[in-house]
A and B are shown apart, each in its own frame.
With several copies, the nearest count.
Chain A
């Protein structure tokens, strides 16, 4: 049988929107001759594609879902290989006063108490899951009247928060790329609960015979290599003046 040269990568829009994916995949294709079809969709949808055997490998950022996915046998392994972080955005005048919060959980508590507008993605994405988790840790429920669930991607959510002069949680890379048209600023950052971890999960061939196991392995190897590390660590410096993603995987020499 002919070797399947096509790899389906199910990923999330946030990975695609920064442009990192394009850079990596171009390199991958020229090196290996494999064609990758990156399907950038919502986190939930990406995982669903994996659960149906419609993707060969996942690149997502929703740790709880990922663990469940691997536990249930849909994924072979889960490798958390890079991260960036989330930031809390809000109006520059910070009506709730979260700038001085001690932690992100504290900031969320303040938001809930001061009953300021908060815009949530509300789409079961990695970011949304993260937000829900923080609410949980903070032991608060958002103020119903002031909680706006938009059910859209990061860019739209930030945009709406900006228009409504509301608070919202966003990943840093999205914020940086949208920053030029925004009046919102970062009001809180750098908390351990704000880490945004990206993992790679090859889909289990045992469950789905049509999965391109070999291709997935090659792509996984490529993404977990020194070359990738270098690209990731340099990505975005030119455009945004800072590093967007931090590579965590210990590359073997």
Chain B
């Protein structure tokens, strides 16, 4: 129990100390998680919409595969990405291993199935007749996706929030692909693991709290956008 209070105290100390290490970690964390979320949203939401709207063979299997992707263990993703990015691997020439780029890639891959899967469900929950109304008005596919997006903003934002949550909390893949290198690829989650391994539980909790506050601010914003102008 004391660890938790110690953690809170330490968290406040840490932030106000403006410790370089902590600032580095925060900077990398924000950079990685926000870029990864943005990329995953830009790819995932349109793909999810199209999968939901279009009819094609093996659609259910594809959706099952995407849903399975939500359960991809980050460690496996980290491992596989590493194998590809290894100097001698097929994409070694990119030199993305142990860099922020590689971490973003890993995070995007982790968040994509979540964002796509939940976006598919959001679009599929749309009353068929609303969709028919939209195309009856003369919308092409991308126009209808945009109109639908406005109508189901709430569930799509939930998908984005879940994707962001998985990104911000993920540790296995960033650890492996990023390498948890101090000042370069160390992020909040990997720092927490490190401090835990060191036995600095209070420190670990302090960083955890910083992460939660950061994520709370992002979520508060997203949640307000989500809950604003609700259809009721």
Contact = CB atoms under 8 A, between A and B. Distances in A.
Contacts of B193: 151
B196 A37 contact: no
B37 interface: no
A84 interface: no
A54 interface: yes
B197 A153 contact: yes
Interface stretch (B42-50, B121-129, B181-189): B181-189
Contacts of A160: 98, 179, 181
Interface residues of A, number: 46
A22 interface: yes
B97 interface: yes
B198 interface: yes
Contacts of B190: 151
A155 B98 contact: no
B57 interface: no
Interface size class of B (residues with CB under 8 A): 20 to 34
A42 B181 contact: no
Nearest to A54: B86
Given A54-B88, A164-B98, A208-B88, A155 B196 contact: yes
A210 interface: yes
A39 to B, nearest CB: 5
B59 interface: no
B180 A40 contact: yes
Contact of B199 (A8, A148, A149, A178): A178
Contacts of B226: none
Contacts of B196: 42, 45, 155
B179 A152 contact: yes
B169 to A, nearest CB: 18
Closest 9 CB pairs of A and B: A42-B197, A48-B199, A44-B199, A44-B198, A178-B199, A151-B194, A149-B182, A124-B198, A45-B199
23 contacts: A17-B194, A17-B198, A18-B198, A37-B179, A42-B196, A45-B199, A46-B199, A51-B199, A52-B86, A53-B88, A54-B86, A149-B182, A150-B179, A150-B181, A150-B182, A151-B182, A151-B191, A151-B194, A152-B194, A155-B196, A156-B180, A160-B98, A160-B181
